[in-house]
Amino acid sequence: MSKISYSKEVIRDLIEGKLPWSQTKSIISGYKDEDRFDKYVEVLQEKVAWQEKILLPLTHELYIVQKGSDRIVKCSCGQEFGDYRVNWKLNALIHVRESEEEVKELYPYPSAPDAEFCEIREFYCPGCGTQLWVETVPFGYPLVFDFLPDLDTFYAEWLKRPLPSQKEFTDLTCDFIAQNWAE
């Protein structure tokens, strides 16, 4: 069987939700294309205005990119969030929906989370004001580090092309807080 592969145009339309459903369905049901990751990154790289190489897309708007010898999180608008091993939310703007009116805007019917118990945290990009994430967690829960990728394993062992330099796979969030925020 020949290997499945899709054109960059198809991948672009797929990412943007513009591919007709019949084609999307056929991609879902079919064998997966082995060159997907590279085409995906290529399409996304063309969409952003900056030059740093995308190592891994994280969300609709955020990317881990290679910047010099660093790997940082960067928004599509260009805003930078620092080392990818530090939760990017530490460098975002936060708004917590606390008033009844603000909660009611989301939940117009009788049931709604209790703001005393539940923090509805909205995270905005300081560069463009995009809402990057929403957490609904118990009051006082640490900021959730949703995903810390093991980039070196991914590139070296899974894609079989190691990145130029190695970074230890470890969560540096608490180190960042200890060094920068704690009195």
Residues 115-174 that bind another protein (CB under 8 A): 116-118, 120, 122-124, 126, 128-151, 153-154, 157-158, 169, 171, 173-174
Q: Which is nearer to another protein, 94 or 162 (CB)?
A: 94
Q: What are the phi and psi torsion angles at 70 (to 5°)? A: -95, 160
Three-state secondary-structure class, residue 24: helix
Site for another protein in 53-112 (CB under 8 A): 56-61, 89-96, 105-112
Q: Which is nearer to another protein, 9 or 150 (CB)?
A: 150
Contact, 69 vs 79, CB < 8 A? Answer: no
Q: How far apart are CA 179 and CA 80, in angstroms?
A: 19
Is position 50 an interface residue for another protein (rule: CB under 8 A)? no
Selected binder of another protein within 3, 7, 20, 28 (CB under 8 A): 28
DSSP secondary-structure letter at 167?
A: -
Task: State the amino acid at position 71 in one-letter form.
Answer: R
Q: How far is the CB of 136 from another protein (least distance, A)?
A: 4
**Entry field: residues in the chain:** 183
Q: How far is the CB of 13 from another protein (least distance, A)?
A: 9
Could you tell me how many residues of this chain bind another protein (CB under 8 A)?
A: 84
DSSP secondary-structure letter at 156?
A: I
The residues pairing with 97 across neighbouring beta strands, listed in sequence order, are 120
Q: Which is nearer to another protein, 18 or 51 (CB)?
A: 18
